[in-house]
Structure 1
């Protein structure tokens, strides 16, 4: 075989699979071809067309995905419009609404639509609500940007950024906003585009930034986002100056500690110092509140010394919480621990309500620091509660405790609100002859509790203990928590 024949052969597909595992000697390695004489052109030269076609296919697939996303937005907006026209079939007018927060028929219909979208798409209500609002804004208020997305001239990320920035603009300013951003959406990267539309939004907004900040400041909050391997994120939404001050102070402290010879990384020191400051400060505040007599009862935190409210940094750089801090910061925490793990005979993870799996060592520390605890034995196969010991539980409502321990979270589709924040609801309403038995009770967060009574969402318990929800559109959803 001469070199030209070899070059021609290399341009053909190389056998794969079982055939490729038994390649004959004529299938040389590319590194051997490069060492041949100059009669053979570079093997790379033969592949430029292949690489080019691959990237062409990638571009077409990306454009197709953007057009598909625009179809989702259009379909969502059409469904929303039809849902509004079917309000009488969605909204309920039962007497059981009287004991809940007042909610208008329009609000009830909107909540029902968002919940239906979330259930159909397998996402949270919050994500569904954002999608519904984005679709409404793009189709109604930003038609040029939406057309660019339909044609594949811009990405969904650009369109989503445009919609979110338009939300705080008054209706009369959105047409000009759309006119000025559509060209930028076709030429700028998503990051640069976001910077540009933020500046444009600032110029077009009739209200001063001081007034808008005052309104936004009312929404300050903290949230915990579970992550993998026993870790989680704590997000604080606050004023920009406060957030920047926290970040800069944490970095300055980390630099000083690192310069003193600490083996941890700067990011690790920052995280540990902020955590220690928050935990220690909150524990001291709780202990101080108890000692000054502002509470009606005495807790074990009153007898702890000042040193016991200080968090400790372990040799591996982790923050170790003291017994006083655990007692002060964890009222009502529910930890489910397999008995063999608690005895040290198994490494099966425990479950921290509101988070998920945690390691047995952390679970044992939490239990060891508790002033009191409730023993719950579960079936080793089904996980169902077998025996509940009520004698050490402070609440007198045995049934409510059992329901919350059983359900763990809200019983609505895709809702993970922790049971301790939920209402206890009768599946069959008391007014309709429902009884206060465990089979007829379930945990529902206030939002979905209101939804159940204000709209025609229906729920029933199946023989295996799961819940079956039927939406006003007739779709069925099964909720299993075990």
Structure 2
């Protein structure tokens, strides 16, 4: 570095740019090596599981799902990301091997590889090959002639070739793609979240244009930016807008949120709820929210579920062998405690999951909080059929062992601690400045709370 700093600025800049190019080339080769390693590992996992090409399709599919879970937990990724990586590796070591070779040679970037994979997916072989060739030709032109093409430029050319060569009419492909339309929510810092919609292009652009027009109607006393106005308008329309084909919303008799009343679970420390401190609450599916927002939500909640923990709660946390299916109080306790699916890395919400006996009922397992956990349907099946093993440890900790003998542990979202009769009834001593925002050893404040629920009508 000292020698570089002593160079004239122009030469030092040239050196740094060359170093960046060298690092980029190395990263592209490493990406290619990773794809090849993932495919080899998948083949080995199938071999270890004892499946062959002659095995049942259902068994081979379960072996793939088990490997995806293994890879996700090994890399610390969401299973959707690991599944995408496995699918990409299979195609890049198979029909799209030319793109993998170009990546290994440093001629294409990972973003361009993903564009090739996206725009060749589902296309007939000859169409997919032609679309891929567009990207390879652009990469070759960049190397030979210095012709710079961004990923966006190459994607446009690939899309034109794809639309021109696809034998199935666009109207039919669009109708099939429209069946996947959905709404997605992604959490963000500072009490915010992203809301996105996957829908037909013309509707998406029409929505954007309408919001732009509505947001453009400035008022003299409105100091919001146009982006803020458009966002607020979209939220207002979604929460309380009228639906032409729904008499309940058209006649404005369905309440402030339209025909459907949303259900929100918010766990609020009892002293926060009473206004005695400002310990953050927990919004299910999101995480910490400020105390004032929690109190506003709780004030409008039509029902409250008290969970102070047995024996204070009145909820029975074990029914032994008396019931196979967890009764309502135990079911609710487990879902609130777990918060989400208890498989490593899964964030599907517990309210949409199955309540599973960790030690199977058929093998003597009890219907008790210490033997129950929330598992989404996918990981419920994986537990029983995919070679994964699980046990519960004290404190609601779950210990998972993968088919490759990796051991991972997951923690409950709200590890309620048992309290004795009469404990937790009095307000704890006022914390000093150094104690603010922390649990004391004897009084973990966030273990005692209420769940406010907005229930659907």
**CA distance in 2: counterparts of 1:179 and 1:468, whole angstroms:** 48
Partner of 2:216: 255
Partner of 1:192: 153
Written as runs of structure 1 = structure 2, the 5 A alignment for 1:80-479 is: 80-88=42-50, 104-185=58-139, 187=142, 188-256=149-217, 258=218, 262-281=222-241, 288=248, 306=252, 309=255, 324-325=256-257, 328-331=260-263, 333-377=264-308, 387-388=312-313, 397-479=328-410
Written as runs of structure 1 = structure 2, the 5 A alignment for 1:70-85 is: 70-85=32-47
SS, match of residue 161 in structure 2 = helix
Q: Which has the higher contact order (CA 8 A, sep 6+)?
A: 2
SS, match of residue 411 in structure 1 = coil
**CA distance in 1: counterparts of 2:246 and 2:390, whole angstroms:** 41
Partner of 2:17: 55
Cα deviations across residues 268-319 of structure 1 (Å, max 9, x unaligned)? 1111111101100379999939x9xxxxxxxxxxxxx94894xxxxxxxxxx
Cα deviations across residues 192-229 of structure 1 (Å, max 9, x unaligned)? 12222222222232211111111111111111111111
Q: Please say which of residues 122-131 and 414-423 is displaced more in the overlay.
A: 122-131
Check whether the contact 2:191–2:288 (CA below 8 A) recurs between aligned residues: yes
SS, match of residue 223 in structure 1 = strand
**CA distance in 2: counterparts of 1:479 and 1:286, whole angstroms:** 44
**CA distance in 2: counterparts of 1:340 and 1:190, whole angstroms:** 54
Contiguous gaps of at least 5 residues in structure 2: 143-148, 317-325, 414-457
Partner of 2:429: none
Check whether the contact 1:326–1:366 (CA below 8 A) recurs between aligned residues: no
**CA distance in 2: counterparts of 1:12 and 1:135, whole angstroms:** 42
**CA distance in 1: counterparts of 2:306 and 2:258, whole angstroms:** 19
Q: 1:173 to 1:328 in 2, by over 3 A?
A: closer
**CA distance in 2: counterparts of 1:114 and 1:416, whole angstroms:** 16
Check whether the contact 1:141–1:174 (CA below 8 A) recurs between aligned residues: no
Q: Please say which of residues 445-454 and 413-422 is displaced more in the overlay.
A: 445-454
For the pair shown, which has the larger CA radius of gyration, 1 or 2? Answer: 1
What TM-score, normalized by structure 2, do the two folds share? 0.79
SS, match of residue 123 in structure 2 = coil
SS, match of residue 303 in structure 2 = coil
CA RMSD of aligned residues (A): 3.1
Higher helix content, 1 or 2: 1
Q: CA deviation at 1:336?
A: 1.1
Cα deviations across residues 153-181 of structure 1 (Å, max 9, x unaligned)? 11111111111111121245333333332
Q: 1:156 to 1:415 in 2, by over 3 A?
A: same
**CA distance in 1: counterparts of 2:369 and 2:122, whole angstroms:** 46
**CA distance in 1: counterparts of 2:37 and 2:228, whole angstroms:** 46
Q: Please say which of residues 343-352 and 205-214 is displaced more in the overlay.
A: 343-352
**CA distance in 1: counterparts of 2:242 and 2:185, whole angstroms:** 16
What TM-score, normalized by structure 1, do the two folds share? 0.75
**CA distance in 2: counterparts of 1:230 and 1:448, whole angstroms:** 29
**CA distance in 2: counterparts of 1:74 and 1:345, whole angstroms:** 58
**CA distance in 2: counterparts of 1:348 and 1:144, whole angstroms:** 56
Check whether the contact 2:62–2:386 (CA below 8 A) recurs between aligned residues: yes
